[in-house]
Amino acid sequence: MFEILNTEILGYTAATLTTASFLPQAILTIRTRDTEALSLSMYSTFTLGVFCWLIYGIYLANNAIIYANAITLFLSLVILSFKIYNSFFKRDEVEKL
Amino acid sequence: MFEILNTEILGYTAATLTTASFLPQAILTIRTRDTEALSLSMYSTFTLGVFCWLIYGIYLANNAIIYANAITLFLSLVILSFKIYNSFFKRDEVEKL
């Protein structure tokens, strides 16, 4: 029981730390909508990966994995939408794709 | 059996995708050693988070979590070392900490 609790705390700590480290970039991009410095292929790969982690977490019924990846997926999808919009309709140069 | 195999494949797919999305940044930073644009506090938080995920994966005996986070931790530690070195001994401005 005590060990399960400790493992859960470790999982939530990990989830909070990696999600928190992604937040400033996400907030900056969402506020400025400037996606010039971001790579579309890297962000697409990352978003797809986070989506797979989320489904994996749901399969394992692991709340730490679900919680971390649900938040990150949401933020990542918002940023990816801005990037796709800017790449095809607006500011970003095509060679930066 | 088939479902366990599918879940494992999903975990390894997730691990490969998120690790792969981190690789270009890591290779660029390791090659150029330019860490000016990276945030020390964000990178420290990320590295600590990945370390916690790794320990969590070892606790759960989950190979996908171990494999993804071991590679990312190694790369992240190399980048963090460059960042700390550059911040305190070399190029990066203190206000960028």
What are the pLDDT digits (tens) for A4-15? 678 899 999 999
Mean pLDDT along residues A61-79:
94
Domains delineated in chain B: 2-96 (1.20.1280.290)
- What's the pTM value of the predicted model, to 2 decimals? 0.84
B48:A17 CB<8 A: yes
What are the pLDDT digits (tens) for B7-55? 899 999 999 999 999 898 888 888 998 888 888 999 999 999 999 999 9
Q: Quick one: CA dihedral A53, A38, A32, A93, positive or negative? A: negative
Q: What is this model's ipTM?
A: 0.83
Whole-angstrom Cα Rg for chain A = 16
Collect contacts of A42-45 with beta carbons under 8 A, ≥24 apart. Answer: A42/B21, A42/B24, A42/B25, A43/A76, A43/A79, A43/A80, A43/A83, A43/B21, A44/A80, A45/B17, A45/B18, A45/B20, A45/B21
Tell me which H or E stretch contains B35.
none
The alpha-carbon gap from A11 to the nearest alpha carbon of chain B, in Å, equals 6
